[in-house]
Amino acid sequence: MAIQIPRGTQDILPGTVEKWQYIEAKAKEICELYNYKEIRTPIFESTELFLRGVGDTTDVVQKEMYTFEDRGGRSLTLRPEGTASVARSYVNNKMFGSPTQPTKLYYIGQMFRYERPQAGRFRQFVQFGIEALGSNDPSIDAEVIALAVELYKSLGLNNLKVVINSLGDKESRQAHRDALINHFQPRINEFCGDCQGRLEKNPLRILDCKKDRDHELMATAPSILDYLNEESKVYFDKVVAYLSALGIQYEIDPNLVRGLDYYYHTAFEIMSTSEGFGAITTLCGGGRYNGLVQEIGGPETPGIGFALSIERLISAMEAENVKFPFEDSIDCYVVALGDKAKETAVKLLFDLRKAGIVAEKDYQDKKMKAQFKAADRLQAKYTIVFGDDELEKGVVSIKEMETGEQQEVAFEDAVAFITAKKSGER
């Protein structure tokens, strides 16, 4: 019996991987425009990093992490998200000492969460994310949101909705926390076990519960916006003013709660409004985390970022019928007949590739007709055909596959001929 792929994972095959490469290239291009630099962190980290950084009351830590003990007895975890790892690297490598602040970073990498696989959601998935550490300026909150919106638009997505909220500073959150406890406590026994456990530890997480989302107390829960102090109100007003100045439409949702514990002030999500995209419409989520770096042993450092799933991004592009701009074709196929011609084809193929020509040949000793069929399957634009007799004469026949036009060219000029044809197509 064949060994099967683990549940919640996928093989990304040729024909599909080109979509990933295109998206990754576009993400890097946008990051360069915004002056974000790439960072690569380990796939596994100390479990303590996520306990302290993500929060031990979150679903991610309580239910979804892949945690194991290594041979030295150390508890390690496959990273479930990227922000904590970037913050850890920021501290370890003393990036806070750089004279250029804020430190603006981006990453593209595999993440791991043990959850129920469904459309667009996997146990091993790839996130693209950015982090800006070292600035309390509300304009960088707007910049982070703008970068995400511009990335989606550059990839052809139009049916987008930006939803934003403020979680306030520590003082505002404490006042809201007390109000939530007073609101839910009399009837907390009607909620799921998770929510009952969250009441005292982190009542804000109750608002993010999927099981109890339709409970009547959810609709009447105290709004964080009613508990923002003056400083938090001013900060939030500036963020949305910057978004308006950038022409980014948004909706304010006081019930928007990010799933991780380190968020303060700005929280946001970008959703797809395309029909047929699915029940889970969120494409991207992020926000400000002003206590994270300090929590994991660094100096007090403000930060903001977002992360998006590339799998869900591809699904959104498919829902909007976005065409990926790449060709599944090659420039040239070499058809060689006869023993000496086949030997010579190896060197010709090498020379074509050195000249920047995407070229291929037969490796299965096929007849001429089968070789031409192979060239058709590969959508070759040109074929170079020669046998032992042509080799003695020092010529090859070059055929343009689309028009059927064929001409004889000196063997030594074949590479230059194809190069010139390719240059003329640009």
Structure tokens at 116: 């129920």
Q: Annotation-wise, does 127 bind a ligand?
A: yes
CA 235/CA 242 separation, integer angstroms: 11
CA 112/CA 40 separation, integer angstroms: 16
Q: Annotation-wise, does 7 bind a ligand?
A: no
- CB burial readout 197-222, b (16+ within 10 A) else e: bbbeebbbbbbbbeebeebeebeebb
CA 262/CA 202 separation, integer angstroms: 12
Q: Annotation-wise, does 258 bind a ligand?
A: yes
Q: Annotation-wise, does 426 bind a ligand?
A: no
CA 358/CA 18 separation, integer angstroms: 16
Distances (CA, A) of 54 to 43, 293, 298, 375: 16, 11, 15, 53
Distances (CA, A) of 290 to 82, 217, 254, 304, 308: 16, 30, 20, 8, 20
Q: How would you list the strands of the sheet with 75-78, edge to edge?
A: 44-46, 75-78, 66-69
Q: Annotation-wise, does 120 bind a ligand?
A: no
- For residue 268, list its beta bridge partners: 164, 286
For 146-152, which contacts have Cβ atoms below 8 Å and span 24 or more sequence positions?
146/243, 146/246, 146/248, 147/30, 147/31, 147/34, 147/36, 148/270, 148/284, 148/286, 148/306, 148/308, 149/248, 149/270, 150/30, 151/26, 151/27, 151/30, 152/270, 152/283, 152/284, 152/313, 152/316
Q: Annotation-wise, does 131 bind a ligand?
A: yes
Within 8 A by CB and 6+ apart from 243, the residues are 142, 145, 146, 162, 164, 250
Q: Annotation-wise, does 333 bind a ligand?
A: no
Which residues carry a binding-site annotation?
A: 81-83, 113, 127, 131, 258, 262-263
Annotated binding-site residues for L-histidine read 81-83, 113, 127, 131, 258, 262-263
